[in-house]
Amino acid sequence: MEEFELVLVSKPDVDKQPLISLIKKVIKGNGGTIISLDDWGTKKLAYPIKKFASGNYTQIRFTAEAKPNEIKTIDELNKLLTEDELALKHIIVKKD
């Protein structure tokens, strides 16, 4: 199992729980587990993103099955977060 960290910036004025539920579903559906989920709250952005001056930050640490499921999980998360209108920005990094 490989460990990953996802940091999500979502719209500040909308409930993000449906999006978090979808993220959990993708991770667990591909054999991964959630290690931790931390809500960092709403913070001012350094520059506007999609006309928003602030964003709601969430950090999710999770594991993914070894390749090829690991790649599938990351691809599905990237697609979900790119297409979802609640997500402003996201980054997924592999932990050492």
pLDDT in tens, the chain (96 residues): 889 999 999 999 999 999 999 999 999 999 999 999 999 999 999 999 999 999 999 999 999 987 776 789 999 999 999 999 999 999 999 987
pTM value is 0.91
Residue type, 9: V
Domain residue extents for the chain: 2-94
Measured CA to CA, the distance from residue 52 to residue 60 in angstroms comes to: 22
- Reference 62, options 10, 21, 2; nearest CA is 2
- The domain defined by 2-94 carries CATH number 3.40.800.20: no
